[in-house]
Chains A and B, each alone.
Chain A
Amino acid sequence: MNAHAPLPAAADCGVEVRQERGQRAVFCGLTGIVWLHRKIQDAFFLVVGSRTCAHLIQSAAGVMIFAEPRFATAIIDERDLAGIADMNEELDRIVGRLIERRPGIKLLFLVGSCPSEVIKLDLSRAALRLSKSLAPDVRVLNYSGSGIETTFTQGEDACLASLVPELPPAPAEAEAALMVVGALADVVEDQFARIFAELGIPARFLPARRAGEMPPVGRNTRYLLAQPFLTDTARSLEERSAKRLSAPFPLGAEGTTRWLRAAADAFGVDAQHFEAVVAPGQKRARRALAQYQERLSGKRVFFFPDSQLEVPLARFLSREMEAELVEVGTPYLHRAHLSEELELLPSGTIVNEGQSLDDQMDRCRKARPDLTVCGLGLANPLEAEGLSTKWSIELLFTPIQGYDQAGDLAELFCRPLVRRTRLEV
């Protein structure tokens, strides 16, 4: 999943894509559970892993862990490894106990981790077996969120990709329909649903909020990625004959308009009608953004790799906020899905795929950017060195897509700069 695709032949868009290998300071895909479980309200995520996995989720979930969330870890112990206990029997026992205690669960994900992948515990067979024994009340799927295979948001990709083969088939003669792919905050999803309705485009969202309401898929399905990290999900959808609509991602006023327009064009929406529908949102977004422009204009921004949102965010900052891009790090760059984004980046932008942490920190220190977007492991140490930082995880937990969140998105980048100017101590 992290395999490097070949470099684009002489990047036509004037963007320089570099690749780097070495120590990576990134989350693994298990972290995706923290927002996915809130999106699919009757799903439960059971990680099969080590104490480290449980500790990671606990650290990433912060206080959320105390609200009896719908995720947990089945910790492999030495009895399992020594073969004293049969791991499959153990897993069945744990799942049985879990379902008994949480009767509302309709969809159970067995989530693979580094330990379970390395010992080659066959979770897909376990999922099949458990699906049979728990049918019809609970469906059991599996995917891997391991660090060896997935980086941070790729966990969502793996999760959604595991859902695709289970989606109901759309009848061959069905009208063309739109599927919006990628977990969005409910408020954002509702906004988009209203806009698509006004445009007259029949739209459904993947994932749906309930396991039983996942959208159908077939040769008349056109899908629009709402997130840039959905490589495998897109591939699975293609295998079920759905067709991708190429578009930049719905960040900022421009991104949102282009994203919506890709759908409108595909569904033959009249240009005038499109303008009429999006005009109010666009106007609100521009007005909201205006108050942050001055503060971000000309600011030099450095992105460490984290979520694959970096390229679209950099595009938003450079085009709509007039920021300068020092380096745009991304853990993985899907050339096709990001092609429209790359074209919108200013010529000469350096996009760095992969990471060698200490070298990248050296570059960052040397460049002394005005704002550094990075993970929580680096943020305070860089602040202590006098650099303003914006911690990147917030961009996954905060609603940032669409017209009405454009101002909030800009504000997230402004806040650390404002704070630094206000503090006198």
Chain B
Amino acid sequence: MQLTVWTYEGPPHIGAMRIATAMKGLHYVLHAPQGDTYADLLFTMIERRDARPPVTYTTFQAQDLGRDTAEIFKNAVAQAYERFQPQAMIVGASCTAELIQDDPGGLAKALALPIPVIPLELPAYQKKENWGASETFYRLVRALAGQPVERAPREGRRPVCNVLGPTALGFRHRDDIVEIRKLLDALGIDVNVVAPMGATPADLGRLGAAAFNVVLYPEIARAAAQYLEKTFKQPFTDIVPIGVKATERFVEAVAALAGVDPAPVLAGAPSRLPWYSRSVDSTYLTGKRVFIFGDATHALAAARIAATELAFKVVGIGTYSREFARELRAEAAEHGIEALITDDYLDVEAAIQAAAPELVLGTQMERHIAKRLGVPCAVISAPIHVQDFPARHSPQMGFEGANVLFDTWVHPLMMGLEEHLLGMFREDPEFHDGAAPSHLTRHGSTAIPSPLRRGEEVGVVPPAATEPSGTTPILIAPWAPDAEKELKKIPFFVRGKARANTERFARERQLPLITLETLYDAKAHFGR
């Protein structure tokens, strides 16, 4: 058993729902107890979809367990077919139905429906949402892509590819696809099928007509692309085009697969990020300490952008996607740090505290951790809340995506600087010392919480912060008034760290009083 408050990923059948909801003409019959329909509202509320997901639940109850839940399942499949007339169906069990061991695949087969019915085995007690999405997409492609056909020679026609990976409830998938289509079009490449988003089962039957595949989200589509490579001899690229450099490499890789010239697309200044990043206004971004956490695709991309396109210092990187731990570790080694592979947000919180970053890039959860710690933050990865399914065009991928990233990441920092300057020059009560930056609504306290002094309201005290019992409490030397005054002159967003460092410095040297000199000695000692 594992104690959990927050989960980064849902169970695997949520992943299957993300595939089914992304597609058209596909219906999912899920053997599940009453209550599991809660998942509908992820799609109707968070993603603001205007139709129910194409999912029929059996919603069995305790009174049904003594009777025939298998019969309920068969009826649900028959009725769903009758009502929705899908081109194909997927059937499977949620965690509870997995325990009662009805056989959705066998039961559905017995109905002999005139459409493909694809059974899903999604082990709910071992696997999670992204795996479920990947497995579902792979099973669909396997079942529906058909037999390999001889592709006609190109003969002057534009090369054709498939784009694989975008799903429902994906972080910015809707807009990423727009950018990728633009890039492919500019390269003179036609798109055969985008899947699963917007594709029908019949479209999956046409996958073989493309010359190669573009995998945008390896978590979801790499397995299907590997199958297509083996069966259809379609090579694939899974360079994730997030960031300027990555987009350039993506364009080159795709152009190579298609046998076209990438130069015209890369010519000129397709993204504003490089110039914005070089402009003197960005100098203060140099060496900003950034902590990165998210799914593997976005965390890896973010680390490279942070280090090489914005000149941040990556002080932490991690993912909850265990399947991609190896890639993450390799990336972390590049930055001289250890990767954090965990799905326990308390570990992430502890790591953020230990790394003392000036910017956190993460999921919805890291946004809240950062808010609590008073550190600027931007969201780079699912899980996300409703505000990260924006109405405006807001891709992460391609050259426009790079523009979006520059704005999104720099904005909270810029605001920090702005607030500091205003605070320095004005004694206006609105800008007084304890006032929170306008972009951060902090809980309770108006003072900047020092990372080392948070605790009670958070309740669960991370082990690192618990003092060993039975020892004398650690005494902190008092601050001399002039030192305290000087501390207040330090920009508030690094003040907490300066205070902690100075106190540590004083403690280690057993100084009785923290003077002005101690403050600057500590600064010199710890450097930046």
Chain A residues proximal to chain B, CB less than 8 Å: 1-3, 23-31, 48, 50-52, 54-56, 58-60, 63, 65-78, 80-81, 85, 87, 90-91, 93-94, 97-98, 101-102, 114-115, 117-119, 146-149, 151, 358, 375-381, 383-384
Residues of A close to B5: CB separation below 8 A: 54, 65, 68-69, 71-73
B458 touches A68 (CB 8 A): yes
Give the nearest-CB partner of B461 in chain A.
A101
Residues of B close to A377: CB separation below 8 A: 37-38, 40-41, 44, 52
Chain B residues proximal to chain A, CB less than 8 Å: 1-7, 9-11, 13-14, 33-42, 44-45, 48-52, 56-65, 76, 79, 83, 94-96, 99-100, 123-126, 128, 365, 368, 385, 443, 457-461
A78 to B12 CA separation, bound complex (whole angstroms): 14
Nearest CB of chain A from residue B435's CB, rounded to whole Å:
22
B45 touches A380 (CB 8 A): yes
A63 touches B385 (CB 8 A): yes
A98 touches B10 (CB 8 A): no
B459 touches A68 (CB 8 A): yes
B457 touches A68 (CB 8 A): yes
Whether A76 contacts B41 in the complex (CB less than 8 A), given A2-B63, A52-B11, comes out as no
Residues of B close to A54: CB separation below 8 A: 4-5, 7
Residues of B close to A98: CB separation below 8 A: 3
A76 to B126 CA separation, bound complex (whole angstroms): 10
B1 touches A80 (CB 8 A): yes
B34 touches A51 (CB 8 A): no
Nearest first, the 4 A-B pairs at minimum CB distance are A147-B35, A28-B35, A377-B40, A384-B50
A33 to B60 CA separation, bound complex (whole angstroms): 22
Nearest CB of chain B from residue A263's CB, rounded to whole Å:
35
Q: Which of B10, B14, B65 has the most CB of A within 10 A?
A: B10
A26 to B57 CA separation, bound complex (whole angstroms): 11
B95 touches A148 (CB 8 A): no
Nearest CB of chain B from residue A61's CB, rounded to whole Å:
10
Give the nearest-CB partner of A30 in chain B.
B35
Residues of B close to A87: CB separation below 8 A: 1
Nearest CB of chain B from residue A15's CB, rounded to whole Å:
25
A98 to B2 CA separation, bound complex (whole angstroms): 12
A81 to B62 CA separation, bound complex (whole angstroms): 20
Nearest CB of chain A from residue B202's CB, rounded to whole Å:
25
A to B CB contacts below 8 Å, 25 in the list = A23-B57, A27-B35, A52-B94, A55-B7, A59-B38, A59-B41, A59-B42, A63-B368, A66-B368, A68-B460, A70-B459, A76-B1, A85-B1, A98-B3, A114-B35, A118-B100, A119-B99, A146-B33, A146-B62, A147-B61, A148-B60, A148-B61, A149-B61, A377-B41, A380-B45
A67 touches B125 (CB 8 A): no
Give the nearest-CB partner of B466 in chain A.
A101
Whether A50 contacts B124 in the complex (CB less than 8 A), given A24-B59, A59-B42, A377-B40, comes out as yes
Residues of A close to B385: CB separation below 8 A: 63
A67 to B441 CA separation, bound complex (whole angstroms): 13
A115 touches B96 (CB 8 A): yes
A50 to B9 CA separation, bound complex (whole angstroms): 12
B125 touches A50 (CB 8 A): yes
A148 touches B33 (CB 8 A): yes
Nearest CB of chain B from residue A53's CB, rounded to whole Å:
8
Whether A117 contacts B125 in the complex (CB less than 8 A), given A59-B42, A69-B5, A94-B1, comes out as no
Residues of B close to A24: CB separation below 8 A: 34, 37, 59
Q: 9 additional contacts, CB 8 Å, given A68-B460, A72-B3? A: A23-B57, A58-B6, A65-B5, A65-B6, A72-B4, A73-B3, A97-B3, A101-B459, A377-B38
A149 to B125 CA separation, bound complex (whole angstroms): 22
Residues of B close to A379: CB separation below 8 A: 44
A58 touches B99 (CB 8 A): no
B44 touches A102 (CB 8 A): no
Residues of B close to A48: CB separation below 8 A: 1
Residues of B close to A23: CB separation below 8 A: 56-59, 76
Nearest CB of chain A from residue B380's CB, rounded to whole Å:
18
Nearest CB of chain A from residue B385's CB, rounded to whole Å:
7
Nearest CB of chain B from residue A283's CB, rounded to whole Å:
39
Residues of B close to A76: CB separation below 8 A: 1, 125
Residues of A close to B461: CB separation below 8 A: 101
Residues of B close to A72: CB separation below 8 A: 3-5
A1 to B61 CA separation, bound complex (whole angstroms): 10
Whether A77 contacts B35 in the complex (CB less than 8 A), given A52-B94, A377-B40, A381-B49, comes out as no
B11 touches A77 (CB 8 A): no
Nearest CB of chain A from residue B389's CB, rounded to whole Å:
12
B44 touches A376 (CB 8 A): yes
A55 to B33 CA separation, bound complex (whole angstroms): 15
B63 touches A52 (CB 8 A): no
B460 touches A50 (CB 8 A): no
B37 touches A25 (CB 8 A): yes
Residues of A close to B4: CB separation below 8 A: 51, 54, 72-75
Residues of A close to B1: CB separation below 8 A: 48, 74-77, 80, 85, 87, 90-91, 93-94
Residues of B close to A3: CB separation below 8 A: 63
